[in-house]
Amino acid sequence: MVKKICVLISGRGSNLLSLLDAQGEIPGHVVRVIANRADAAGLKHAEERGIETVVIPSKDFTERDLFDQVLGDAIAACVPDLVVLAGFMRILGKKIVGRFSGKMINIHPALLPSYPGLHTHQRALADGVKWHGCTVHFVTPDVDVGPIIGQTAVPVLSHDDEETLAARVLKAEHRLLADCVRWYCEDRLTVRGNAVLLRNSVSIADAVQQPQG
């Protein structure tokens, strides 16, 4: 059965766009895009494709719980099978996370558990790490610690600055998010504690073509 996906964004929306472009290979379709800022540039990607958009400006809410309630209702109204936080820069409370438990995923621009939170590229460069990357994980009440669905590592090069590193990670994010959403929509993910098992995955050894004769 084709899954209904609700995507939450706060800004540019390049992950949303890549997901929309990958929809042909995913048994799921984006039915609603919700932004917590009216000026979120990514909204146009949804509008151009005739996908319903909803803006709930978080700055208009003094109470976090009320924002979460309104947001939760807007998500629930499209009865999604999957909620994707794709550059949604707002911390969600326990209640709304519990409401969509097991069906809400987030993309984070670092190899968790390294560099949760903000300014991940800047912090990775300051630490001189040789590898950086991105993570897609299930959302749990604690920020950036939920069960990890997938990760992609990218090298940190000697001439990198924040911009070049961010661009390399973002490219990896676009592929990773589409893959993880596809696995979810194919019902191939099982959560065991803090680990996520991917069913029917082809091992690297199997995927590498053996030389013939």
Which residues of the chain form contacts with ligand GAR (CB under 6 A)? Answer: 9, 11-15, 42, 86-87, 89, 107-109, 170, 173
Looking at the Cβ atoms of 86 and 189, the one nearer to ligand GAR is 86
Q: What whole-number distance in Å separates Cα of residue 58 and Cα of residue 178? A: 27
Q: Smallest gap, in angstroms, from Cβ of residue 176 to ligand GAR?
A: 10
Q: Min. distance of Cβ 38 from ligand GAR in angstroms?
A: 15
Return the residue nearest ligand GAR (CB atom).
Answer: 87
Q: Which one of the listed residues 29, 45, 108, 159 is annotated catalytic?
A: 108
Pick from 117, 92, 103, 75: which is nearest to 180 by CA? 103
Residue 45 annotated to the active site: no
- Which residue lies nearer to ligand GAR by CB, 2 or 167? 167
41 vs 157, which CB is nearer to ligand GAR? 41
Distance in Å, CB of 200 to ligand GAR, minimum: 27
Catalytic residues: 108
